[in-house]
A and B are shown apart, each in its own frame.
Chain A
Amino acid sequence: MSRSTDAEATRGGLKIVEDATCTFCGCVCDDIELHVQDDHIVKAKKACVLGTSWFLNHEVEDVPSCRIEGRPASVEEGIERAAKILYEARYPLIYGLSDTTCESQRVAVSIADWIGANLDTTTSVCHGPSGMAFQGVGEVTCSLGEVRNRADLIIFWGSNPAESHPRHFTRYSLMPKGMFVPGGRKDRTCVVIDVRKTKSARAADVFIPIRPRKDFEALWTLRALAAEIEVDLEQVERETGQPLVVWQDLMDRMKAARFGVIFFGMGLTMTRGKHANSEALLALTRDMNRHTRFVCKPNRGHGNVTGADNVVSWRTGFPFGVNLGRGYPRFNPGEYTASDVLANREADAAMIIASDPMANFSQPAREHLKSIPYVALDPKETPTTRAATVAFTVATYGINVAGTAYRMDDVPIPLRPAFDSPHPSDYEILRGIERRVQKWYAAEVRSGRWEV
Chain B
Amino acid sequence: MMWWCASRTATIGNSGPVRSSPVWLFAAFDPLALCGMLRQAGIMTNETFILIPGRTSDQGCGISEGKYAQRYSQAISTVQMNADDMKRLGLEEGCAVRIRSEFGSVVLPVVAVKGDELPCGLLFMAYGEYSSRLMGGETHGSGMPTSKGMDVTIESADPSEIDTGRIS
Contacts and interface: CB of A to CB of B under 8 A. Distances in A.
Partners in one complex: yes
Interface of A: 24-25, 49-50, 53-54, 56-58, 120, 124-125, 128-129, 132, 160, 163-164, 166, 195-198, 209, 211-213, 241, 266-267, 269-272, 274-275, 301, 320-321, 333-334, 337-340, 343-344, 356, 358-366, 380-383, 386-387
Contacts, number: 164
Nearest to A341: B143
Contact of B149 (A128, A209, A213, A343): A213
7 contacts: A53-B64, A132-B142, A164-B55, A196-B52, A198-B117, A340-B139, A363-B135
Nearest to B142: A274
Contact of B143 (A320, A356, A382): A320
B13 to A, nearest CB: 24
Interface of B: 1, 3-4, 50, 52, 54-57, 60-61, 64-68, 103-104, 115-119, 122, 124, 127-129, 132-133, 135-149, 167-168
Contacts of A166: 57
Chain B interface secondary structure, helix, strand, loop or mixed?
loop
Contacts of A320: 143
A160 B55 CA distance: 8
B67 A58 contact: no
B167 to A, nearest CB: 6
B72 to A, nearest CB: 10
Contacts of B145: 125, 339, 361-362
A128 B52 contact: no
Contact of A266 (B104, B128, B148): B148
B83 to A, nearest CB: 13
Nearest to B71: A53
A247 to B, nearest CB: 15
Given A50-B57, A163-B57, A267 B148 contact: yes
Nearest to A301: B55
Contacts of A49: 57, 60-61
* Nearest 6 CB-CB pairings of A with B: A337-B143, A343-B137, A334-B141, A53-B61, A333-B143, A364-B137
A24 B67 contact: no
Given A128-B143, A333-B141, A380-B67, 11 more contacts: A164-B55, A198-B117, A211-B4, A213-B149, A272-B146, A275-B142, A334-B141, A356-B67, A361-B145, A363-B137, A386-B168
A274 B140 contact: yes
Nearest to A49: B57
A359 B128 contact: yes
Contacts of B1: 209, 241
Contact of B122 (A120, A212, A272): A212
Nearest to B65: A57
Contacts of B67: 356, 359, 380-383
Given A49-B57, A364-B137, A381 B132 contact: no
A383 B129 contact: yes
A269 B140 CA distance: 12
Contacts of A359: 67, 128-129, 132, 167
Contacts of A163: 55-57, 60
Contacts of B4: 211, 241
Nearest to A25: B60
B3 A241 contact: yes
Given A50-B60, A212-B50, A196 B124 contact: yes
A150 B76 CA distance: 38
B60 A164 contact: yes
Nearest to B59: A163
A362 B136 CA distance: 6
A115 to B, nearest CB: 21
Q: Which residue, A195, A198, A363, has most C-beta atoms of chain B within 10 A? A: A195
Contacts of A382: 67
A333 B60 contact: no
Nearest to A128: B143
B143 A362 contact: no
B57 A272 contact: no
B14 to A, nearest CB: 27
A50 B65 CA distance: 11
B119 A196 contact: yes
Contact of B64 (A58, A120, A269): A58
Contacts of B149: 195, 212-213, 270-272
Nearest to A272: B149
Contacts of A266: 54, 147-148
A129 B55 contact: no
A209 B118 CA distance: 10
B135 A196 contact: no
B144 A339 contact: yes
Nearest to B60: A50
A57 B148 contact: no
Contacts of A275: 142
A196 B118 contact: yes
A198 B60 CA distance: 16
Name, among B146, B149, B168, the residue most crowded by chain A CB atoms within 10 Å (CB to CB).
B149
Contacts of B122: 195-196, 212
Nearest to A126: B144
B65 A53 contact: yes
Contacts of B119: 195-197, 209
B64 A334 contact: no
Candidate in B1, B117, B132, B139 with the most chain A CB atoms within 10 angstroms: B139
Contact of B142 (A120, A128, A301): A128
A337 B145 CA distance: 11
A54 B64 CA distance: 5
A218 to B, nearest CB: 14
Contact of B60 (A24, A334, A363): A24
